[in-house]
Structure 1
Amino acid sequence: MTQEWTLFISTFTTLLAIINPLEALPIFLLLLEGKNLAEHRKVAAQSSLYATLLLLFFLFFGSLILRLFGVPLSMVRIVGGIILTKIGFELFSGSSGSGSVVPEGGAGKDANIAFVPLALPIMCGPGAIATVLGMTAQVQRWEFGSFAPIVAAVLATMFVTYLCLAYAGKLVDRLGPMGIDAITRIVGFFVSAMGVGLIFNGVIEGLQNHGLNMLH
Protein backbone atom coordinates (compact mmCIF):
# COMPACT_ATOMS: atom_id res chain seq x y z
CA MET A 1 0.00 0.00 0.00
CA THR A 2 1.38 3.40 -1.00
CA GLN A 3 1.95 6.22 1.47
CA GLU A 4 -0.90 8.22 -0.08
CA TRP A 5 -3.42 5.42 0.44
CA THR A 6 -2.20 4.89 4.00
CA LEU A 7 -2.62 8.59 4.75
CA PHE A 8 -6.09 8.61 3.19
CA ILE A 9 -7.34 5.56 5.08
CA SER A 10 -5.90 6.66 8.44
CA THR A 11 -7.35 10.17 8.08
CA PHE A 12 -10.74 8.91 6.89
CA THR A 13 -11.17 6.33 9.65
CA THR A 14 -9.99 8.69 12.38
CA LEU A 15 -12.18 11.58 11.21
CA LEU A 16 -15.22 9.35 10.85
CA ALA A 17 -14.69 7.96 14.33
CA ILE A 18 -14.21 11.43 15.82
CA ILE A 19 -17.22 13.05 14.10
CA ASN A 20 -19.28 9.91 14.79
CA PRO A 21 -22.43 10.84 12.80
CA LEU A 22 -24.51 8.31 14.75
CA GLU A 23 -24.01 10.28 17.95
CA ALA A 24 -25.25 13.42 16.20
CA LEU A 25 -28.50 11.80 15.00
CA PRO A 26 -30.61 12.47 18.14
CA ILE A 27 -29.47 16.10 18.23
CA PHE A 28 -30.16 16.48 14.51
CA LEU A 29 -33.69 15.09 14.87
CA LEU A 30 -34.37 17.24 17.94
CA LEU A 31 -33.33 20.43 16.16
CA LEU A 32 -35.48 19.57 13.14
CA GLU A 33 -38.46 18.25 15.04
CA GLY A 34 -41.64 18.70 12.99
CA LYS A 35 -39.76 19.27 9.72
CA ASN A 36 -40.33 17.15 6.61
CA LEU A 37 -37.80 14.88 4.89
CA ALA A 38 -36.86 17.50 2.30
CA GLU A 39 -35.91 19.97 5.05
CA HIS A 40 -33.90 17.25 6.81
CA ARG A 41 -31.86 16.58 3.67
CA LYS A 42 -31.40 20.28 2.97
CA VAL A 43 -30.00 20.95 6.44
CA ALA A 44 -27.87 17.79 6.27
CA ALA A 45 -26.32 18.98 2.99
CA GLN A 46 -25.72 22.50 4.30
CA SER A 47 -24.14 21.39 7.57
CA SER A 48 -21.90 18.88 5.77
CA LEU A 49 -20.77 21.59 3.32
CA TYR A 50 -20.02 24.05 6.13
CA ALA A 51 -18.06 21.43 8.07
CA THR A 52 -16.08 20.51 4.95
CA LEU A 53 -15.09 24.13 4.33
CA LEU A 54 -14.11 24.59 7.99
CA LEU A 55 -11.93 21.48 8.01
CA LEU A 56 -10.22 22.49 4.76
CA PHE A 57 -9.62 25.96 6.20
CA PHE A 58 -7.91 24.51 9.28
CA LEU A 59 -6.01 22.04 7.10
CA PHE A 60 -4.29 24.68 4.96
CA PHE A 61 -4.22 27.80 7.12
CA GLY A 62 -3.72 25.96 10.41
CA SER A 63 -0.75 24.08 8.98
CA LEU A 64 0.65 27.29 7.51
CA ILE A 65 0.41 29.12 10.85
CA LEU A 66 2.12 26.25 12.66
CA ARG A 67 4.95 26.25 10.13
CA LEU A 68 5.32 30.03 10.30
CA PHE A 69 5.67 29.93 14.09
CA GLY A 70 8.04 26.97 13.90
CA VAL A 71 5.87 24.55 15.90
CA PRO A 72 7.38 21.05 15.47
CA LEU A 73 5.04 18.53 13.89
CA SER A 74 5.88 16.10 16.68
CA MET A 75 4.26 18.56 19.12
CA VAL A 76 1.18 18.74 16.88
CA ARG A 77 0.89 14.96 17.07
CA ILE A 78 1.18 14.95 20.85
CA VAL A 79 -1.42 17.70 21.39
CA GLY A 80 -3.76 16.14 18.84
CA GLY A 81 -3.34 12.76 20.51
CA ILE A 82 -4.18 14.19 23.93
CA ILE A 83 -7.38 15.76 22.56
CA LEU A 84 -8.39 12.55 20.78
CA THR A 85 -7.71 10.45 23.88
CA LYS A 86 -9.85 12.75 26.03
CA ILE A 87 -12.74 12.68 23.54
CA GLY A 88 -12.44 8.91 23.24
CA PHE A 89 -12.71 8.45 27.01
CA GLU A 90 -15.78 10.70 27.07
CA LEU A 91 -17.46 8.71 24.30
CA PHE A 92 -16.58 5.40 25.93
CA SER A 93 -17.85 6.44 29.37
CA GLY A 94 -21.01 8.01 27.95
CA SER A 95 -20.13 11.42 29.39
CA SER A 96 -20.00 13.25 26.07
CA GLY A 97 -21.51 16.67 26.40
CA SER A 98 -22.88 16.93 22.88
CA GLY A 99 -26.32 17.57 24.18
CA SER A 100 -25.21 20.88 25.66
CA VAL A 101 -24.83 22.40 22.20
CA VAL A 102 -28.57 22.25 21.59
CA PRO A 103 -30.04 25.73 22.04
CA GLU A 104 -32.52 26.07 24.87
CA GLY A 105 -36.09 26.07 23.63
CA GLY A 106 -35.10 24.41 20.37
CA ALA A 107 -34.03 26.06 17.16
CA GLY A 108 -35.45 29.44 16.31
CA LYS A 109 -37.15 30.06 12.99
CA ASP A 110 -34.24 32.08 11.63
CA ALA A 111 -31.50 30.18 13.41
CA ASN A 112 -28.92 28.71 11.05
CA ILE A 113 -28.66 25.39 12.81
CA ALA A 114 -26.79 23.97 9.82
CA PHE A 115 -23.75 26.04 10.85
CA VAL A 116 -24.22 26.21 14.64
CA PRO A 117 -24.41 23.73 16.28
CA LEU A 118 -24.35 21.05 13.56
CA ALA A 119 -21.28 22.04 11.54
CA LEU A 120 -19.58 23.78 14.47
CA PRO A 121 -18.91 22.24 16.95
CA ILE A 122 -20.63 18.86 16.40
CA MET A 123 -18.95 17.99 13.08
CA CYS A 124 -15.96 20.31 13.11
CA GLY A 125 -14.99 20.23 16.76
CA PRO A 126 -11.61 20.17 18.53
CA GLY A 127 -11.13 16.48 17.81
CA ALA A 128 -11.69 16.82 14.06
CA ILE A 129 -9.44 19.89 13.87
CA ALA A 130 -6.72 18.13 15.88
CA THR A 131 -6.99 15.10 13.59
CA VAL A 132 -6.58 17.18 10.44
CA LEU A 133 -3.60 19.07 11.86
CA GLY A 134 -2.08 15.88 13.24
CA MET A 135 -2.26 14.18 9.84
CA THR A 136 -0.32 17.04 8.26
CA ALA A 137 2.66 15.69 10.20
CA GLN A 138 2.68 12.85 7.67
CA VAL A 139 3.06 15.25 4.73
CA GLN A 140 6.66 15.41 3.56
CA ARG A 141 6.48 18.34 1.13
CA TRP A 142 4.57 21.63 1.29
CA GLU A 143 2.69 21.12 -1.99
CA PHE A 144 -1.02 20.98 -2.74
CA GLY A 145 -0.68 17.49 -4.21
CA SER A 146 0.82 16.25 -0.95
CA PHE A 147 -2.39 17.21 0.88
CA ALA A 148 -4.64 15.46 -1.67
CA PRO A 149 -5.13 12.29 0.44
CA ILE A 150 -6.21 14.36 3.46
CA VAL A 151 -8.56 16.48 1.32
CA ALA A 152 -10.06 13.31 -0.20
CA ALA A 153 -10.50 11.83 3.29
CA VAL A 154 -12.30 14.97 4.49
CA LEU A 155 -14.66 14.85 1.48
CA ALA A 156 -15.35 11.12 1.95
CA THR A 157 -16.00 11.57 5.67
CA MET A 158 -18.44 14.41 5.15
CA PHE A 159 -20.27 12.46 2.42
CA VAL A 160 -20.81 9.56 4.83
CA THR A 161 -21.90 12.06 7.50
CA TYR A 162 -24.40 13.60 5.08
CA LEU A 163 -25.91 10.18 4.32
CA CYS A 164 -26.30 9.43 8.04
CA LEU A 165 -28.03 12.76 8.70
CA ALA A 166 -30.19 12.62 5.57
CA TYR A 167 -31.55 9.24 6.68
CA ALA A 168 -31.42 9.99 10.41
CA GLY A 169 -35.00 8.91 11.07
CA LYS A 170 -34.55 5.48 9.51
CA LEU A 171 -31.21 4.90 11.22
CA VAL A 172 -32.57 5.80 14.66
CA ASP A 173 -35.57 3.51 14.13
CA ARG A 174 -33.34 0.61 13.12
CA LEU A 175 -30.55 1.03 15.67
CA GLY A 176 -32.51 2.43 18.59
CA PRO A 177 -30.99 4.34 21.52
CA MET A 178 -29.22 1.24 22.85
CA GLY A 179 -27.63 0.49 19.49
CA ILE A 180 -26.39 4.05 19.04
CA ASP A 181 -25.02 4.07 22.59
CA ALA A 182 -23.20 0.77 22.06
CA ILE A 183 -21.65 1.94 18.77
CA THR A 184 -20.63 5.25 20.36
CA ARG A 185 -18.83 3.46 23.20
CA ILE A 186 -17.03 1.14 20.77
CA VAL A 187 -16.00 4.13 18.65
CA GLY A 188 -14.78 5.88 21.81
CA PHE A 189 -12.48 2.97 22.59
CA PHE A 190 -10.85 3.12 19.15
CA VAL A 191 -10.61 6.92 19.23
CA SER A 192 -8.71 6.65 22.52
CA ALA A 193 -6.39 4.08 20.97
CA MET A 194 -5.76 6.38 17.99
CA GLY A 195 -5.02 9.25 20.36
CA VAL A 196 -2.52 7.22 22.36
CA GLY A 197 -0.89 6.16 19.09
CA LEU A 198 -0.47 9.78 18.02
CA ILE A 199 1.02 10.68 21.41
CA PHE A 200 3.44 7.75 21.27
CA ASN A 201 4.60 8.56 17.72
CA GLY A 202 4.93 12.25 18.59
CA VAL A 203 7.05 11.52 21.66
CA ILE A 204 9.31 9.11 19.76
CA GLU A 205 9.76 11.60 16.90
CA GLY A 206 10.48 14.44 19.35
CA LEU A 207 13.06 12.37 21.26
CA GLN A 208 14.74 11.31 18.02
CA ASN A 209 14.99 14.92 16.83
CA HIS A 210 16.29 16.02 20.23
CA GLY A 211 18.82 13.22 20.28
CA LEU A 212 20.12 14.07 16.82
CA ASN A 213 20.49 17.70 17.83
CA MET A 214 22.44 16.71 20.95
CA LEU A 215 24.81 14.55 18.91
CA HIS A 216 25.71 17.57 16.84
Structure 2
Amino acid sequence: MDLGLEISKLILALMVLINPFGALSIYLDLTQNHSTRERRKVARTSSLTVFIVITLFALAGGTILKILNISVGSFQVGGGILVLLIAISMMNDNGNPAKPNIGTDEGSDIVIAPKQSAAAIAVVPLAIPMMIGPGGISTVIIYASAAKTYRDIISIIAAGLIVSAICYTTLMVAARMSSWLGETGLTILNRIMGMLLAAVSVEIIVAGLKAIFPQLAV
Protein backbone atom coordinates (compact mmCIF):
# COMPACT_ATOMS: atom_id res chain seq x y z
CA MET A 1 0.00 0.00 0.00
CA ASP A 2 1.29 3.46 -0.91
CA LEU A 3 0.86 5.09 2.49
CA GLY A 4 1.24 8.63 1.16
CA LEU A 5 -1.45 8.03 -1.47
CA GLU A 6 -3.82 6.45 1.06
CA ILE A 7 -3.40 9.33 3.51
CA SER A 8 -4.02 11.80 0.70
CA LYS A 9 -7.30 10.00 0.00
CA LEU A 10 -8.17 10.13 3.70
CA ILE A 11 -7.50 13.88 3.85
CA LEU A 12 -9.66 14.38 0.76
CA ALA A 13 -12.48 12.24 2.17
CA LEU A 14 -12.40 13.99 5.55
CA MET A 15 -12.28 17.43 3.98
CA VAL A 16 -15.36 16.66 1.89
CA LEU A 17 -17.26 14.98 4.73
CA ILE A 18 -16.38 17.60 7.33
CA ASN A 19 -16.79 20.34 4.72
CA PRO A 20 -15.87 23.44 6.76
CA PHE A 21 -17.21 25.58 3.90
CA GLY A 22 -20.66 24.17 4.55
CA ALA A 23 -20.34 25.21 8.19
CA LEU A 24 -19.62 28.87 7.40
CA SER A 25 -23.22 30.08 7.66
CA ILE A 26 -23.95 28.16 10.87
CA TYR A 27 -20.70 29.48 12.39
CA LEU A 28 -21.60 33.07 11.53
CA ASP A 29 -25.13 32.62 12.94
CA LEU A 30 -23.90 31.01 16.15
CA THR A 31 -21.30 33.70 16.81
CA GLN A 32 -23.22 36.79 15.70
CA ASN A 33 -23.54 38.02 19.31
CA HIS A 34 -19.96 37.25 20.27
CA SER A 35 -16.80 39.34 20.24
CA THR A 36 -13.91 38.76 17.86
CA ARG A 37 -11.96 37.09 20.65
CA GLU A 38 -14.85 34.74 21.40
CA ARG A 39 -15.21 33.91 17.71
CA ARG A 40 -11.56 32.91 17.61
CA LYS A 41 -12.16 30.72 20.65
CA VAL A 42 -15.14 29.05 18.95
CA ALA A 43 -13.08 28.38 15.80
CA ARG A 44 -10.16 27.04 17.86
CA THR A 45 -12.33 24.83 20.09
CA SER A 46 -14.34 23.46 17.15
CA SER A 47 -11.21 22.55 15.21
CA LEU A 48 -9.64 20.98 18.32
CA THR A 49 -12.80 18.94 18.91
CA VAL A 50 -12.67 17.67 15.32
CA PHE A 51 -9.04 16.63 15.83
CA ILE A 52 -9.81 14.90 19.16
CA VAL A 53 -12.70 12.92 17.63
CA ILE A 54 -10.55 11.84 14.67
CA THR A 55 -7.69 10.83 17.01
CA LEU A 56 -10.02 8.93 19.33
CA PHE A 57 -11.52 6.81 16.55
CA ALA A 58 -8.14 6.39 14.84
CA LEU A 59 -6.83 4.80 18.04
CA ALA A 60 -9.96 2.86 18.95
CA GLY A 61 -11.48 2.11 15.53
CA GLY A 62 -9.97 -1.34 15.09
CA THR A 63 -10.78 -2.30 18.69
CA ILE A 64 -14.41 -1.23 18.28
CA LEU A 65 -14.82 -3.53 15.27
CA LYS A 66 -13.23 -6.43 17.14
CA ILE A 67 -15.52 -5.93 20.15
CA LEU A 68 -18.56 -5.87 17.87
CA ASN A 69 -17.15 -8.82 15.88
CA ILE A 70 -17.44 -6.92 12.60
CA SER A 71 -14.94 -7.71 9.86
CA VAL A 72 -12.95 -4.89 8.28
CA GLY A 73 -14.30 -5.78 4.85
CA SER A 74 -17.92 -5.65 5.99
CA PHE A 75 -17.42 -2.28 7.64
CA GLN A 76 -15.64 -0.95 4.56
CA VAL A 77 -18.55 -1.94 2.34
CA GLY A 78 -21.15 -0.58 4.77
CA GLY A 79 -19.22 2.62 5.45
CA GLY A 80 -18.47 3.06 1.75
CA ILE A 81 -22.17 2.81 0.91
CA LEU A 82 -22.95 5.44 3.59
CA VAL A 83 -20.29 7.75 2.16
CA LEU A 84 -21.58 7.13 -1.39
CA LEU A 85 -25.14 8.07 -0.34
CA ILE A 86 -23.78 11.27 1.20
CA ALA A 87 -21.88 12.03 -2.02
CA ILE A 88 -24.98 11.49 -4.16
CA SER A 89 -27.00 13.74 -1.88
CA MET A 90 -24.34 16.44 -2.11
CA MET A 91 -24.30 16.25 -5.91
CA ASN A 92 -28.09 16.61 -5.91
CA ASP A 93 -27.70 19.75 -3.77
CA ASN A 94 -29.46 18.12 -0.80
CA GLY A 95 -26.55 18.65 1.56
CA ASN A 96 -25.19 15.93 3.82
CA PRO A 97 -28.04 13.64 4.97
CA ALA A 98 -25.94 12.51 7.94
CA LYS A 99 -25.88 16.06 9.32
CA PRO A 100 -28.76 18.21 10.59
CA ASN A 101 -30.06 21.05 8.42
CA ILE A 102 -29.86 23.69 11.13
CA GLY A 103 -30.99 27.12 10.12
CA THR A 104 -31.86 26.24 6.55
CA ASP A 105 -35.58 26.97 6.81
CA GLU A 106 -38.05 28.85 8.93
CA GLY A 107 -38.74 25.83 11.10
CA SER A 108 -35.11 25.38 12.12
CA ASP A 109 -33.88 28.89 12.84
CA ILE A 110 -31.03 29.26 15.29
CA VAL A 111 -31.60 31.27 18.42
CA ILE A 112 -28.46 31.81 20.46
CA ALA A 113 -28.51 33.67 23.74
CA PRO A 114 -25.91 36.50 23.90
CA LYS A 115 -24.20 35.04 26.98
CA GLN A 116 -24.17 31.39 25.88
CA SER A 117 -20.78 29.76 26.37
CA ALA A 118 -18.58 30.06 23.30
CA ALA A 119 -16.97 26.71 24.19
CA ALA A 120 -20.37 25.00 24.33
CA ILE A 121 -21.37 26.40 20.93
CA ALA A 122 -18.06 25.24 19.47
CA VAL A 123 -18.49 21.62 20.55
CA VAL A 124 -22.25 21.20 19.96
CA PRO A 125 -23.62 21.77 17.38
CA LEU A 126 -20.74 23.26 15.37
CA ALA A 127 -18.06 20.56 15.74
CA ILE A 128 -20.45 17.69 16.50
CA PRO A 129 -22.39 16.91 14.35
CA MET A 130 -22.15 19.82 11.86
CA MET A 131 -18.48 19.22 11.04
CA ILE A 132 -17.53 15.74 12.20
CA GLY A 133 -20.57 13.47 11.87
CA PRO A 134 -21.31 9.78 11.18
CA GLY A 135 -19.72 9.90 7.71
CA GLY A 136 -16.43 11.32 8.94
CA ILE A 137 -16.28 8.98 11.94
CA SER A 138 -17.02 5.94 9.75
CA THR A 139 -14.26 6.93 7.33
CA VAL A 140 -11.71 7.25 10.15
CA ILE A 141 -12.71 3.83 11.53
CA ILE A 142 -12.38 2.29 8.06
CA TYR A 143 -8.81 3.54 7.65
CA ALA A 144 -7.90 2.77 11.27
CA SER A 145 -9.19 -0.81 11.01
CA ALA A 146 -7.10 -1.32 7.87
CA ALA A 147 -3.94 0.05 9.52
CA LYS A 148 -1.18 -2.53 9.89
CA THR A 149 1.40 -0.60 11.93
CA TYR A 150 1.57 2.23 14.44
CA ARG A 151 3.01 4.33 11.65
CA ASP A 152 -0.29 3.98 9.79
CA ILE A 153 -2.24 5.13 12.87
CA ILE A 154 0.11 8.09 13.34
CA SER A 155 -0.41 9.00 9.67
CA ILE A 156 -4.18 8.98 10.16
CA ILE A 157 -3.82 11.26 13.19
CA ALA A 158 -1.51 13.52 11.17
CA ALA A 159 -4.17 13.68 8.44
CA GLY A 160 -6.69 14.66 11.13
CA LEU A 161 -4.36 17.42 12.31
CA ILE A 162 -4.07 18.82 8.78
CA VAL A 163 -7.84 18.73 8.28
CA SER A 164 -8.42 20.39 11.66
CA ALA A 165 -5.95 23.15 10.79
CA ILE A 166 -7.82 23.75 7.51
CA CYS A 167 -11.10 23.88 9.46
CA TYR A 168 -9.66 26.49 11.82
CA THR A 169 -8.34 28.63 8.96
CA THR A 170 -11.67 28.42 7.12
CA LEU A 171 -13.68 29.48 10.17
CA MET A 172 -11.30 32.35 10.89
CA VAL A 173 -11.99 33.84 7.46
CA ALA A 174 -15.66 32.77 7.44
CA ALA A 175 -17.19 36.22 6.87
CA ARG A 176 -14.94 37.10 3.93
CA MET A 177 -15.16 33.64 2.36
CA SER A 178 -18.96 33.50 2.67
CA SER A 179 -19.38 36.88 0.99
CA TRP A 180 -16.79 36.03 -1.67
CA LEU A 181 -18.23 32.64 -2.64
CA GLY A 182 -21.90 33.54 -2.19
CA GLU A 183 -24.70 31.00 -2.21
CA THR A 184 -24.03 29.99 -5.81
CA GLY A 185 -20.32 29.47 -5.19
CA LEU A 186 -20.97 27.34 -2.11
CA THR A 187 -23.47 25.23 -4.07
CA ILE A 188 -20.98 24.62 -6.91
CA LEU A 189 -18.21 23.80 -4.41
CA ASN A 190 -20.53 21.39 -2.61
CA ARG A 191 -21.31 19.51 -5.83
CA ILE A 192 -17.63 19.27 -6.82
CA MET A 193 -16.85 17.88 -3.36
CA GLY A 194 -19.69 15.40 -3.83
CA MET A 195 -18.13 14.07 -7.03
CA LEU A 196 -14.73 13.68 -5.38
CA LEU A 197 -16.31 11.95 -2.40
CA ALA A 198 -18.18 9.54 -4.70
CA ALA A 199 -14.87 8.43 -6.23
CA VAL A 200 -13.34 7.86 -2.77
CA SER A 201 -16.42 5.94 -1.58
CA VAL A 202 -16.26 3.57 -4.57
CA GLU A 203 -12.63 2.77 -3.75
CA ILE A 204 -13.59 2.06 -0.13
CA ILE A 205 -16.37 -0.30 -1.26
CA VAL A 206 -14.05 -2.08 -3.72
CA ALA A 207 -11.41 -2.52 -0.98
CA GLY A 208 -14.09 -3.99 1.28
CA LEU A 209 -15.30 -6.41 -1.38
CA LYS A 210 -11.73 -7.56 -2.00
CA ALA A 211 -11.31 -8.17 1.74
CA ILE A 212 -14.53 -10.24 1.85
CA PHE A 213 -13.85 -12.03 -1.45
CA PRO A 214 -10.03 -12.36 -1.76
CA GLN A 215 -10.41 -13.96 -5.18
CA LEU A 216 -11.47 -10.56 -6.55
CA ALA A 217 -7.93 -9.28 -5.94
CA VAL A 218 -6.47 -11.79 -8.38
User: Normalising by the residue count of structure 2, what TM-score does the alignment of the two structures yield?
Assistant: 0.86
Which letter maps to 1:167? V
1:138 alignment counterpart = 146
In 2, Cα distance between equivalents of 1:148 and 1:209: 31
SS in 2 for 1:113: helix
1:152 alignment counterpart = 158
Count of residues in correspondence between the two structures:
208
1:214 alignment counterpart = none
In 1, Cα distance between equivalents of 2:213 and 2:170: 42
- Give 1:209 deviation, angstroms: 7.1
Taking a change above 3 Å as real, the CA distance of residues 137 and 3 of structure 1, as seen in their structure-2 partners, is farther
2:39 alignment counterpart = 40
Taking a change above 3 Å as real, the CA distance of residues 59 and 101 of structure 1, as seen in their structure-2 partners, is farther
Deviates more, 1:91-100 or 1:182-191: 91-100
1:66 alignment counterpart = 65
In 1, Cα distance between equivalents of 2:187 and 2:195: 13
1:124 aligns with 2:125: no
Deviates more, 1:50-59 or 1:174-183: 50-59
1:83 aligns with 2:88: no
Taking a change above 3 Å as real, the CA distance of residues 27 and 163 of structure 1, as seen in their structure-2 partners, is same
- Give 1:105 deviation, angstroms: 4.3
1:107 aligns with 2:112: yes
Q: Is the 8 A contact 1:56 1:151 kept in 2?
A: yes
Q: Paired residue for 1:181, among 164, 179, 187?
A: 187
SS in 1 for 2:161: helix
Which letter maps to 2:144? T
Deviation digits for residues 3-60 of structure 1 (CA, Å, limit 9, x no counterpart): 3312321211111111111111111111112433322221000011112111211222
1:49 alignment counterpart = 48
Q: Is the 8 A contact 2:30 2:110 kept in 1?
A: no
Unpaired segments ≥5 residues, structure 2: none
Q: Is the 8 A contact 2:11 2:163 kept in 1?
A: yes
In 2, Cα distance between equivalents of 1:146 and 1:91: 30
Identity of aligned residues (%): 27
- Give 1:124 deviation, angstroms: 1.4
Q: Is the 8 A contact 1:48 1:161 kept in 2?
A: yes
Deviates more, 1:30-39 or 1:202-211: 202-211
Q: Is the 8 A contact 1:59 1:132 kept in 2?
A: yes
Deviation digits for residues 107-158 of structure 1 (CA, Å, limit 9, x no counterpart): 23325110111110012101110110111243124xx333111010000001
1:11 alignment counterpart = 10
Q: Is the 8 A contact 1:7 1:149 kept in 2?
A: no
Taking a change above 3 Å as real, the CA distance of residues 89 and 66 of structure 1, as seen in their structure-2 partners, is same
1:191 alignment counterpart = 197
Taking a change above 3 Å as real, the CA distance of residues 69 and 167 of structure 1, as seen in their structure-2 partners, is same
What root-mean-square deviation, in Å, do the aligned CA atoms of Structure 1 and Structure 2 show?
2.2
In 2, Cα distance between equivalents of 1:178 and 1:210: 42
